[in-house]
Amino acid sequence: MDDRAAEQERDMRAGTGQGPEIWLRGPVTAPEADPPGPARARAAARRFSWVGLHGGAGVSTLAAVYGGHDCGRSWPGPDAPRSVLLVARTHAAGLDAVLPAVDLFRRGEAPHGLDLVAVVLVADAPGRLPRPLAHRVRLIEPLIDVYRVPWVPDWRLGDLGGRPPRETEPLARLTGAPR
């Protein structure tokens, strides 16, 4: 260690000198000591309310697979998580329902205290979206985070076990679902 580094380290230990300049964002608190015994539990994952923008959007399936509160087509009640994930299918009617719902939040007309986190688009059929529908998705993406869920044949048959599709890893990370 060179003389200057040794001097800085000595000053930092003594609490008198200037250490390296560090900028921290947010409040700084002293670290908590680990309790004796088993390791401390991780912080609780953020919980979400799934809100369908139309019938058959897939809210119940997504809540079962990724966790969270199934609100159906209603706004979350007082005991439900305040963080909202709007859900729509990728057919024309489903995509047409997204922008007006996002606009409700933008104008402050959604129920007080709700936080719109993202829109989840669930494939309405296997394969690629037709160009006109893909264009509608591109109109939504600049306005809010969009998570895409592919067609899952097992889900159609009622088999919600197993891991979520690989393409939904970002959604699984957001919701804290096992991957």
User: Hey, what domains does the chain have and what are their CATH numbers?
Assistant: 49-175 (3.40.50)
Cα–chain center distance at 16: 44
pLDDT in tens, the chain (179 residues): 555 545 544 544 444 444 343 333 333 333 344 444 443 334 455 799 999 999 999 999 999 999 999 999 999 999 999 999 999 999 999 999 999 999 999 999 999 999 999 999 999 999 999 999 999 999 999 999 999 999 999 999 999 988 899 999 999 999 998 76
For residue 3, the model assigns a pLDDT of: 55
Report residue 46: phi and psi, to 5°: -65, 135
For residue 7, the model assigns a pLDDT of: 54
- pLDDT tens digits for 59-70? 999 999 999 999
Average pLDDT, the chain: 82
- Residue 104's contacts (CB-CB under 8 Å, 6 or more residues apart) are 110
What's the CA gap between 173 and 66, in Å, rounded?
A: 10
For residue 76, the model assigns a pLDDT of: 97
Q: Please give the C-alpha separations between residue 77 and each of 69, 81, 167, in angstroms, as whole numbers.
A: 10, 8, 31
Element (H, E) at 148: strand 146-149
Beta-carbon count within 10 A of 111 CB? 13
What's the CA gap between 78 and 81, in Å, rounded?
A: 8
